[in-house]
């Protein structure tokens, strides 16, 4: 009897170890930005493990790096803006958006249009004609006409000064070498602290949510892991919103916040997990089509999946 018990116990232990070995590891790419804070909080506080998710959170220095990685199937999912998943899908990368992670509201912005410190007082039309530093064919390029239109409904088109690297765009703005620039937070707040003048921001626009995206292959084969991932993110969001001070150090350790505003920049509020709105998707798709960034007709319903939401 003792021998049977020992054999049975050994078998249970072996099966347990085998299951742990075969447990698929989720690889999720992210960026050092404040909109990704719930991912860092969930990782730092062990929430992924709590919900049974074996995960590697992989930091990338740029959105382009993460897009290349997801296209090459080097990662299972990634943190993205609303624009890039559509571009990737139009180029035959099979993926789906499973949730919004961050969006603007009446009290917090993601992007701002700024004029240089001590610049002459130009009209929005003059600024648009003189040129605005942006990164073309990106979410920044997409939102800029809406920022202009929020100031003057007759101004929508603008001359683009293509400046891909955000630090260079910031430097050009602060040195008064461009008439205006569009910057993301927290660099918009940093530039404002340095004397730049906010002309418009996206607080009231609700156009550019950031989203969690997974490859279709991973979703098909590992739905439990995807659901666990979103459960962990949902709990991280509750923790952030209920006690932002408790997650401030995680933000400062993982997100690029300039030293000048580290003590003053607020921990953002995050929305309850949900899919992007139909307007979010259709407006972005329309812009991508009209600007000939994509020419493929996309099945918008196939781009989204609410199957994994808590």
pLDDT digits 0-9 by tens, 25-47: 999 999 999 999 999 999 999 99
Looking at 115-124, 142-151, 166-175, which range is the least confident one? 115-124
- Judged against a pLDDT cut of 60, whether residue 96 lies above it is answered with yes
Do residues 90 and 220 both lie within one domain?
yes
CATH number for the domain including 227?
Answer: 3.40.190.10
What band does 23 get if pLDDT is binned at 50, 70 and 90?
low
Tell me what the mean pLDDT of segment 16-25 comes to.
52
Instruction: Look at the chain and report how many structural domains it folds into.
Output: 2
Do residues 226 and 151 both lie within one domain?
no
Question: Does 89 reside within a domain?
Answer: yes
Domain boundary among 176, 201, 226: 201
Do residues 72 and 117 both lie within one domain?
no
Element holding 114 (H helix, E strand): strand 111-115
Do residues 166 and 188 both lie within one domain?
yes
Do residues 167 and 298 both lie within one domain?
no
Question: Does 84 reside within a domain?
Answer: yes
Question: Does 18 reside within a domain?
Answer: no
Do residues 214 and 282 both lie within one domain?
yes
Mean pLDDT of the chain: 91
Question: Does 14 reside within a domain?
Answer: no
Range of the domain at 214: 23-103+209-303
Do residues 88 and 129 both lie within one domain?
no
Q: For residue 287, what is the DSSP state?
A: H
Predicted pLDDT of residue 2: 37
Q: What's the pTM?
A: 0.89
Question: Does 133 reside within a domain?
Answer: yes
Predicted pLDDT of residue 154: 93
Q: What are the residues whose beta carbons fall under 8 Å from the beta carbon of 116, sequence distance 6 or more?
A: 173, 174, 175, 176, 177, 178, 179, 180, 196, 197
């Amino acid at each position: 009897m003792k021998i049977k018990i020992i054999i049975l116990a050994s078998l249970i232990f072996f099966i347990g170890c085998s299951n742990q070995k075969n447990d698929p590891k989720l690889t999720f790419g992210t960026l050092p930005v404040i909109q990704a804070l719930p991912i860092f909080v969930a990782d730092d506080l062990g929430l992924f493990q709590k919900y049974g998710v074996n995960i590697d959170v992989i930091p990338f220095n740029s959105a382009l790096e993460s897009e290349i990685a997801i296209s090459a199937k080097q990662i299972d999912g990634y943190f993205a803006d609303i624009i890039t998943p559509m571009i990737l899908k139009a180029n035959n990368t099979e993926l789906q958006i499973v949730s919004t992670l961050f969006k603007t509201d009446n009290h917090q912005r993601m992007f701002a249009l700024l004029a240089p410190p001590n610049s002459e007082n130009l009209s929005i039309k003059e600024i648009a004609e003189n040129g605005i530093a942006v990164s073309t064919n990106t979410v920044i390029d997409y939102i800029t006409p809406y920022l202009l239109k929020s100031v003057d409904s007759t101004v929508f088109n603008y001359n683009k000064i293509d400046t891909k690297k955000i630090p260079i765009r910031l430097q050009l703005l602060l040195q008064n070498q461009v008439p205006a620039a569009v910057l993301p937070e927290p660099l918009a707040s940093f530039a404002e602290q340095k004397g730049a003048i906010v002309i418009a921001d996206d607080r009231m626009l609700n156009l550019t949510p950031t989203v969690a995206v997974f490859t279709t292959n991973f979703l098909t084969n590992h739905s439990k892991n995807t659901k666990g991932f979103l459960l962990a993110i949902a709990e991280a969001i509750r923790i952030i919103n209920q006690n932002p001070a408790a997650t401030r150090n995680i933000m400062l350790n993982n997100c690029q916040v300039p030293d000048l505003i580290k003590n003053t920049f607020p921990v953002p509020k995050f929305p309850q997990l949900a899919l992007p709105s139909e307007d979010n998707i259709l407006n972005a798709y329309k812009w991508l089509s009209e600007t000939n960034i994509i020419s493929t007709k996309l099945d918008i319903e196939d781009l989204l999946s609410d199957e994994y939401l808590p």
